[in-house]
């Protein structure tokens, strides 16, 4: 009889025996006996192969308590040999199962659950406790992925890069404060979006963006950025054009509109909002920067008596109309930083339940994993087909 047939016969015999006594077995005992049968089969295989070289034989078994599907632990008898060299692969499967619990804990952590909530969930579902310290230690594994990513090369060319800063509470020494998380996403030549930058700094500053952009060019290999879209941070346009002189710079129109409306009287807000919308409504083939500047002048003239300071909000206005230089099919996608807002909402959602992070490093590790998961399921999975029309008009 072949080895395969002999093993199949042994397995069938044991399963039939289990089936005959099924009424007397609980589900835990049934699972336990099945596991023991698999290990006995493994031992027979091991001894047959091993005895071709040296002599060994079975030497009883030892007991181990394992997690079960019920409230009680599962007692399993693990067969052994006299040499002690036999180790059932079935035990490795059980080990993998325990590792899956760790994966579940990390997944829940990434989705925003607190360490205490995760522990309660695991205890309720798997009868397995996991201390907040253990969850925190598991989360440290995120660091190696982030560090590897930070040292990897990026694409040479990006059509558009969106930059933004969000603020999250973090512990630094013995103090807690909201600090800035700098995030930049780029649109690749294949129209997929990719994380380019994830950095942390106590405050938002153009100089810190400078260090980020220099790092992208000198360390990460980004040679060309056609368009950089960000908020109205002062002097950032000069810094970007210094590092990428062939690129274009677009300040977020939505930020500009919001800033202006915050300085208006409630009774005027709706009308001013409509007028501002018209100023920046330049999405047709025949719309030009010259026409947009004329609409801006008409807006200021209309409101100069009530709001003489409005003119201060339109300094360096040309950087708010850069989008008009590009094909009308992509203008709505590049005149604001809205493309990154979905990601920002996901980050805020997952960090909301975590009152603070124990250090800036842990904060970056956590946000990195949240972003990469979002990127995999959204940005890299679904190319933005309209970006195939991305081009500057002659």
Domain span including residue 30:
3-87
What is the rounded CA–CA span in Å between residue 350 and residue 320?
A: 32
Ranges of H-type helices in the chain? 3-20, 27-50, 89-110, 115-126, 132-139, 141-150, 206-218, 236-243, 253-261, 269-279, 289-303, 328-334, 341-351, 360-374
What is the rounded CA–CA span in Å between residue 277 and residue 331?
A: 14
Angle at the Cα of 121 from the Cα atoms of 116 and 125, rounded to 5 degrees = 155
Q: Would you say the pTM of this structure is higher than 0.85? A: no
Which has the higher per-residue pLDDT, 101 or 383?
A: 383
146 occurs within a structural domain: no
Kindly state the helix (H) or strand (E) to which residue 228 belongs, with its residue range.
strand 224-230
Please state the rounded mean pLDDT for residues 94-99.
52
Which is it for the CA torsion 368, 390, 208, 166, positive or negative? negative
In this structure, are 220 and 310 located in the same domain?
A: yes
C-beta atoms surrounding 334 within 10 Å = 26
In this structure, are 365 and 223 located in the same domain?
A: yes
Q: Please give the share of the chain, as a percent, with pLDDT higher than 70.
A: 74
In this structure, are 370 and 246 located in the same domain?
A: yes
Above 80 in pLDDT, residue 30?
no
217 occurs within a structural domain: yes
Above 70 in pLDDT, residue 207?
yes
pLDDT at 339: 85
In this structure, are 30 and 79 located in the same domain?
A: yes
Using CA atoms, how far residue 393 sits from 58, 201, 318, 331, 389, in Å, is: 81, 37, 16, 12, 11
Which has the higher per-residue pLDDT, 362 or 19?
A: 362
In this structure, are 113 and 81 located in the same domain?
A: no
177 occurs within a structural domain: yes
What is the rounded CA–CA span in Å between residue 40 and residue 35?
A: 9
Number of domains in the chain: 3
Above 90 in pLDDT, residue 85?
no
Q: In what order do the strands lie in the sheet with 175-187?
A: 193-201, 175-187, 157-172, 224-230, 248-251
Above 80 in pLDDT, residue 161?
yes
Above 50 in pLDDT, residue 69?
no
Pairing of strands 74-81, 58-66: antiparallel
Domain boundary pick from 72, 105, 139: 139
263 occurs within a structural domain: yes
Above 90 in pLDDT, residue 142?
no
Which residues, other chains included, contact 280 with Cβ-Cβ below 8 Å and sequence gap of 6+? 253, 257, 292, 320, 335
Above 60 in pLDDT, residue 382?
yes
Please state the rounded mean pLDDT for residues 237-255.
95
pLDDT at 188: 96
In this structure, are 113 and 181 located in the same domain?
A: no
pLDDT at 10: 60
Above 90 in pLDDT, residue 22?
no
What is the rounded CA–CA span in Å between residue 126 and residue 164?
A: 41
110 occurs within a structural domain: yes
In this structure, are 230 and 297 located in the same domain?
A: yes
In this structure, are 213 and 304 located in the same domain?
A: yes
In this structure, are 263 and 158 located in the same domain?
A: yes
pLDDT, one tens digit per residue, over 292-334 is 999 999 999 999 999 999 988 888 788 999 999 999 999 999 9
- Reported confidence tier of residue 237, pLDDT bands at 50, 70, 90: very high
Above 70 in pLDDT, residue 63?
yes
Above 80 in pLDDT, residue 345?
yes
Judged by DSSP in three states, 195 sits in: strand
In this structure, are 196 and 78 located in the same domain?
A: no
145 occurs within a structural domain: no
Among the residue ranges 133-147, 329-343, 365-379, the one predicted with the least confidence is 133-147
Above 50 in pLDDT, residue 186?
yes
148 occurs within a structural domain: no
pLDDT at 96: 44
In this structure, are 175 and 131 located in the same domain?
A: no
Please state the rounded mean pLDDT for residues 118-144.
59
Six token digits for residue 111: 């989705």
In this structure, are 176 and 317 located in the same domain?
A: yes
Tokens 């992509």 belong to residue: 330
144 occurs within a structural domain: no
């Amino acid at each position: 009889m072949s080895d395969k047939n002999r093993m199949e016969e042994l397995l069938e015999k044991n399963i039939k025996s289990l089936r005959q006594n099924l009424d007397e077995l609980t589900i835990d005992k049934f699972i336990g006996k099945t596991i023991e049968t698999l290990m006995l089969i493994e031992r027979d295989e091991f001894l047959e192969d091993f005895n071709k070289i040296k002599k060994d034989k079975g030497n009883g078994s030892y007991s181990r308590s394992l997690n079960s599907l019920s409230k009680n632990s599962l007692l399993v008898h693990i067969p052994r040999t006299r040499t002690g060299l036999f180790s059932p692969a079935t035990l490795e499967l059980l080990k993998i199962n325990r590792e899956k619990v760790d994966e579940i804990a990390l997944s829940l952590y990434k989705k925003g659950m607190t360490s205490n909530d995760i522990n309660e969930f695991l205890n309720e579902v798997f009868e397995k406790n996991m201390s907040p310290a253990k969850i925190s230690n598991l989360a440290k594994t995120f660091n190696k992925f982030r560090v590897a990513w930070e040292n990897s090369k990026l694409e040479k060319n990006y059509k558009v890069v969106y930059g933004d800063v969000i603020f999250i509470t973090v512990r630094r020494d013995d103090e807690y404060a909201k600090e800035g998380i700098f995030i930049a996403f780029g649109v690749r030549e294949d129209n997929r979006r990719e994380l380019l930058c994830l950095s942390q700094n106590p405050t938002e500053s153009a100089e810190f963006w400078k260090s980020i952009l220099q790092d992208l060019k000198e360390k990460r290999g980004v040679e060309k950025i056609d368009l950089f879209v960000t908020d109205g941070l002062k002097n950032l346009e000069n810094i970007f054009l210094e590092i990428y002189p062939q690129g274009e710079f677009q300040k977020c129109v939505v930020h500009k509109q919001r800033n202006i409306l915050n300085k208006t009287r409630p009774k005027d807000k709706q009308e001013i909002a409509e007028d501002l919308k018209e100023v920046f409504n330049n999405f047709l083939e025949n719309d030009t920067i010259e026409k947009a500047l004329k609409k801006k002048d008409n807006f200021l003239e209309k409101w100069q008596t009530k709001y003489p300071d409005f003119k201060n909000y339109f300094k360096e206005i040309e950087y708010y109309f850069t989008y008009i230089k590009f094909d009308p099919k992509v203008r709505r996608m590049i005149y604001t930083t809205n493309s990154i807002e979905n990601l920002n909402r996901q980050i805020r959602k997952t960090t909301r339940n975590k009152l603070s992070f124990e250090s800036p490093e842990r904060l970056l590790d956590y946000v990195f994993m949240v972003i990469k998961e979002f990127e995999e399921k959204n940005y890299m999975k679904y190319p933005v087909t309209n970006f195939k029309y991305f081009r500057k008009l002659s």
